[in-house]
């Protein structure tokens, strides 16, 4: 494990419209996945798994990777964004189905073997996808995630910060039909987590605009990713991590209270040769000030001895 430390990346800039090229949702496994593409279609593919929507990945990072000669495609998980939305309260699919979606999408885009990257719960999808579909992916980046499913973690892994979780869940839910109220709810949550409230407010508004309908469970799935806690995430995959043979990068915020940094450190120890990039001033998101370091690490993944 190679450790890298980035000092105080600062806050995310306010909302700026993405310069990517939206596409119609791509059909895979009898569902559709909403995608957005950046860069040259003939360039090597970097596939970004949303956590749960594609907007979990900053515009600036997508643009920086595209500027580095990559075709970047970020996408929404099922029951979020422009992907198929059925019933977020009772998902009829599993974590392994979401992993299979990532592999099928790489095939559909004609980009295999692809560099796969997952953030948050999307990082769980990415771990399983690389393990279950090894020939499909050439590299793996995991940001702000952990090596076990939602619920109580293994004894050696740090759990969510209790004080932070208490503050987050003590808040009343907003009126999901009110865009401004939802955006303020997101900004307040970001401040509690240690992320930038202005950036969270802007992204939440964009997520709200892409949410199909006003049903509270659908907004929960889009804004908070609550559908993920209802998934069947068996079998365990942590014990299989030493079998990952592609180059791997683990990115984690030093101040992350949701998945504390010990989770990223554990992943980096258990994947052979993985690099660990710790963002000392970051919490649960990738700040714009850290984009260059993260992009450079991703672009050079597999080229470092």
3-state secondary structure 200-251: HHHHHHHHHHHCCCCCHHHHHHHHCCHHHHHCECCCCCHHHHHHCCCCEEEE
pLDDT at residue 5 tops 60: no
* Alpha helices per DSSP H over the chain: 59-67, 95-108, 121-132, 162-169, 179-193, 197-210, 216-223, 262-270, 291-299
Q: What is the pTM of this model?
A: 0.93
pLDDT at residue 62 tops 90: yes
Q: pLDDT-based confidence at 29, cuts 50/70/90? A: confident
Q: What is the CA 163 to chain-centroid distance, rounded? A: 24
pLDDT confidence of residue 19: 64
pLDDT at residue 79 tops 50: yes
pLDDT confidence of residue 17: 46
Asked whether the beta carbons of 193 and 258 are under 8 A apart, the reply is yes
* Average pLDDT score over the chain: 92
The 10 Å Cβ neighbour count of residue 281 is 17
pLDDT at residue 15 tops 50: no
Q: pLDDT-based confidence at 22, cuts 50/70/90? A: confident
pLDDT confidence of residue 88: 96
pLDDT confidence of residue 18: 54
pLDDT confidence of residue 112: 87
Average pLDDT over residues 32-42: 96
Q: What is the CA 209 to chain-centroid distance, rounded? A: 19
Percentage of residues in the chain having pLDDT higher than 90: 90
Percentage of residues in the chain having pLDDT higher than 70: 92
- Please count the CA atoms within 13 angstroms of the CA of 154 that sit on its side-chain side: 14
Strand 275-279 with 31-33, pairing: unpaired
- 16-25, 101-110, 133-142, 276-285: segment of lowest average pLDDT: 16-25
Higher confidence at residue 111 or residue 215?
A: 215
Average pLDDT over residues 3-29: 54
pLDDT at residue 4 tops 90: no
- 9-18, 109-118, 271-280: segment of lowest average pLDDT: 9-18
pLDDT confidence of residue 20: 79
């Amino acid at each position: 494990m190679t450790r890298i430390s980035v000092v105080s990346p600062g806050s995310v800039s306010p909302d700026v419209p993405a310069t990517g090229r939206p596409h119609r949702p791509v059909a895979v496994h009898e569902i559709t996945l909403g995608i957005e593409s950046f860069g040259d279609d003939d360039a090597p593919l970097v596939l970004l798994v949303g956590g749960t929507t594609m907007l979990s990945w900053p515009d600036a990072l997508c643009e920086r990777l595209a500027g580095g000669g990559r075709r970047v495609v970020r996408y929404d998980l099922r029951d979020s964004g422009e992907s198929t939305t059925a019933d977020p309260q009772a998902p009829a699919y599993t974590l392994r189905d979401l992993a299979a979606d990532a592999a099928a999408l790489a095939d559909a885009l004609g980009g295999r073997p692809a560099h796969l990257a997952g953030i948050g719960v999307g990082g769980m999808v990415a771990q399983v996808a690389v393990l279950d579909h090894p020939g499909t992916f050439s590299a793996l980046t995991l940001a702000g995630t952990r090596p076990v499913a939602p619920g109580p973690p293994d004894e050696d892994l740090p759990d969510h910060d209790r004080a932070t979780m208490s503050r987050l869940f003590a808040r009343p839910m907003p009126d999901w039909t009110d865009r401004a109220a939802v955006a303020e709810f997101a900004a307040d949550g970001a401040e509690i987590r240690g992320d930038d409230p202005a950036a969270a407010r802007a992204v939440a508004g964009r997520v709200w605009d892409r949410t199909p309908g006003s049903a509270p469970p659908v907004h929960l799935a889009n804004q908070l990713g609550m559908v993920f806690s209802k998934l069947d995430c068996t079998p365990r995959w942590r014990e299989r991590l030493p079998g990952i043979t592609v180059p791997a990068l683990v990115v984690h915020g030093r101040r992350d209270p949701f998945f504390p940094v010990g989770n990223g450190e554990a992943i980096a120890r258990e994947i052979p040769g993985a690099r660990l990039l710790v963002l000392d001033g970051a919490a649960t998101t990738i700040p714009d000030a850290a984009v260059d370091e993260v992009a450079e690490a991703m672009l050079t993944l597999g080229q470092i001895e």
